[in-house]
Structure 1
Amino acid sequence: MSPGLLERFDRVVAIDNLHPQIHPSAERPTALAAGVELVVGDVTDPAAWDALLAGVRPDVVVHLAAETGTGQSLAEATRHAHVNVVGTTQLLDGLLRHDALPRRIVLSSSRAVYGEGAWRSDDTGELFYPGQRTSEVLARGQWDFPGARPVAMSAATTTPAPVSVYGATKLAQENVLTAWAHSVGVEPVVLRLQNVYGPGQSLINPYTGILSLFCRLAKAGQSIPLYEDGEVRRDFVLIDDVARALLAATTAPVPGRTPIDIGSGEDQTIARAAELIAAHYEAPAPHVTGQYRQGDVRHAWADVTVAARVLGWAPEFSLEEGVTRLATWIDAQRPG
């Protein structure tokens, strides 16, 4: 995204703490465009914002900073809440403290705010919200909700009901930002991203990036393990498409108050994604394990029609194309 930002804005400044869970070293990432000024700092530290905003008056803030591990958030709830919620409030306080209100703040949120989302009854055709799958239900191997089918997630019609600590903190982040922004005259743009993957994704983070994990397993000649029954559905959206959506959100006409869903426009089973990756590496066929993870939803995909209308954006890459781009990039990385 940074080359696009450099083309649209006179100055681009990034603040990042270069957390070791994501970055193998504290050095400037080689993929960061040369024209981007990097400030190493923690978004939860008010001193970091004071130092930055003493010399920067942003026109647009693109807020990407977050802890994102769904499973990890269950065991490290304080860390996720501190970064995702308090980190956002520190940004907002800093902007007011330094009289540096931007024209717009673009927030990368998550489909995790929806939880299981809405399902439609086979008998009545009515929508309902089944809520979180309990430990007892998962232990019985009851993966779906009997007598119902899922529907696409849309901010215009789907009520948020997060089933993970991570999702709850992202919804709180959205609410804090929008309440603050509308009070002080800043335009908030919230993008709810589906499962983002692609070149540049951290290969050392054990809590996110299922497709990069699948690639590493298949590349090593291993069979990819599939949780539940392998029929979990996800909306895998390539980072190239997400970057274009974020860029569009920085300059598009005021989009109103409804969050915008960003996805690939198609839903795929985990098994299908694993099969594509296994075929690329000529690895053994994936296998179903029956394991499950607390906080995971059964199915998730986005209705992207609002993004097309408001941002003039549409996804360009299919899963097949994206898997090839991801695997090619992984193959080019140095061992270790």
Structure 2
Amino acid sequence: MSTVLVTGGAGFIGCAISTALADRYDRVVAFDNLHPQVHPQPVRPAALDARVELVVGDVTSAEDWDSLLAGVAPDVVVHLAAETGTGQSLSESTRHGAVNVVGTTQMLDALRRTEHLPGRIVLTSSRAVYGEGAWRQADGNLFYPGPRPHAMLEAGRWDFPDAEPTAMRADLVEPRPASVYAATKLTQEHVLSVWSDAHGVDLRVLRLQNVYGPGQSLSNPYTGIMSLFCRIAKRGESIPLYEDGEVRRDFVLIDDVADAVVRATTAEQVGPEPIDIGSGETQTIRTAAETIAARYGAPAPHVTGQFRDGDVRHAWADVAPARERLGWEPQFSLKDGVERLAAWIDDQPGVE
């Protein structure tokens, strides 16, 4: 018997990987607290493959872990469970620290306590660990500008002068977290790395860009802008664009992310360096909004000049290492992904 345990397994990514995991493993167990921010009704999601066993519990609870592991000895752990709201983490820092950091250490202590050491752990981390990332000066040198100050944004100076942003890639760009959420995700990476090295466990870390697509919670205000843009355009309204509309993002469809996560559970030789997962292309917020507006026949998006302190100006992944180490290739363009997301939203009852 081969068993895979998925923390946060009833969430967006957990449901998306459930069928592929059930096809590959003899037993798949999802461990999830069905948090109301993600699950308005505390019931098993319809999108979770019927072959998956759902155990309701809290990753921060040692008792819940002991109860779970009394009947589950995982060969592979996919660690998805996390609080993900970047802005929310500034006002609910304890909650993010408890779930993302303490939840991870509780998991590791329980695995050791019950002598159920897995052969492999896959962690879904975040592009947020890079913060503003690295920029390249005209002379070719990289520098790390850090978060843009309020005065800079208030003056409408969106980019750093005489410099160009670079793609996020773990072997070239240092992590520089600029939010509580990002700091907790990087801490997850560090804690798991030290523990896995000490116990001979094979750790694979995937740093995900902006994941979107069918199945994403429409009731959670922290799940991203693609579904929000679709709902605005669906109402026949113009999508508002912050800053100058030229913010770059890497929107990667859930189907491609699910494929990467499943490959990370099965690939033979991956290596310890985190792997960046994105769409293989970069686009501006304006391009994404225009694509969505065209899909719905909505008015053209409009620039508001508004901004949010702490927002990263540009973020996209270099996916070459993912191709080499996972044998993975993103399959969906932005237009393909928007169509899949919009068609799914259109089928949801009561969505306006």
1:217 aligns with 2:241: no
Which residue is equivalent to 1:177? 192
Which residue is equivalent to 2:32? 16
- Structural mapping, 1:243-254, within 5 Å: 243-254=258-269
Which residue is equivalent to 1:284? 299
Which residue of 254, 257, 260 corresponds with 1:239?
254
Q: Note the C-alpha offset of 1:61.
A: 0.4
Which residue of 99, 103, 120 corresponds with 1:104?
120
2:151 & 2:101 partners in 1: Cα distance? 31
- Structural mapping, 1:47-62, within 5 Å: 47-62=63-78
- SS at the partner of 1:108? strand
1:294 & 1:208 partners in 2: Cα distance? 18
- Structural mapping, 1:197-216, within 5 Å: 197-216=212-231
1:165 & 1:109 partners in 2: Cα distance? 14
Letter in 2 for 1:254: Q
* TM-score, normalising length: structure 1: 0.98
2:257 & 2:160 partners in 1: Cα distance? 31
1:74 & 1:226 partners in 2: Cα distance? 23
1:48 & 1:216 partners in 2: Cα distance? 38
- SS at the partner of 1:91? helix
Which residue is equivalent to 2:105? 89
Which residue is equivalent to 1:300? 315
Q: Note the C-alpha offset of 1:74.
A: 1.3
Which residue of 86, 89, 92 corresponds with 1:70?
86
Comparing 252-261 with 4-13, greater Cα deviation is found at: 252-261
- SS at the partner of 2:65? helix
1:131 aligns with 2:146: yes
Which residue is equivalent to 2:57? 41
> Is contact 1:201-1:209 (8 Å) kept?
no
* TM-score, normalising length: structure 2: 0.94
- SS at the partner of 2:27? coil
- SS at the partner of 1:169? helix
Which residue is equivalent to 2:11? none
1:89 & 1:134 partners in 2: Cα distance? 34
Which residue is equivalent to 1:265? 280
1:111 & 1:292 partners in 2: Cα distance? 20
- The C-alpha deviation readout for 1:282-310, integer Å capped at 9, x for no partner, is 11111111111222200000011111111
Which residue is equivalent to 2:95? 79
> Is contact 1:71-1:293 (8 Å) kept?
no
- The C-alpha deviation readout for 1:113-139, integer Å capped at 9, x for no partner, is 0011111112x1211111111222222
- The C-alpha deviation readout for 1:161-187, integer Å capped at 9, x for no partner, is 011111111001100111111111111
- SS at the partner of 1:39? strand
Identity among equivalent positions (%) equals 69
> Is contact 1:118-1:130 (8 Å) kept?
yes
Letter in 2 for 1:18: L
Q: Note the C-alpha offset of 1:190.
A: 0.2
Which residue is equivalent to 1:324? 339
2:308 & 2:99 partners in 1: Cα distance? 23
- The C-alpha deviation readout for 1:203-222, integer Å capped at 9, x for no partner, is 01112221000001110111
- SS at the partner of 1:70? coil
RMSD over aligned Cα atoms: 0.8
1:221 & 1:2 partners in 2: Cα distance? 35
> Is contact 1:278-1:284 (8 Å) kept?
yes
Deviation above 3 Å: which 4+ runs of structure 1? none
> Is contact 1:46-1:94 (8 Å) kept?
yes
Which residue of 328, 338, 351 corresponds with 1:313?
328
1:93 & 1:181 partners in 2: Cα distance? 12
2:160 & 2:270 partners in 1: Cα distance? 35
2:222 & 2:19 partners in 1: Cα distance? 28
Task: Give the unaligned 5+ runs of structure 1.
Answer: none
> Is contact 1:195-1:234 (8 Å) kept?
yes
Letter in 2 for 1:104: R
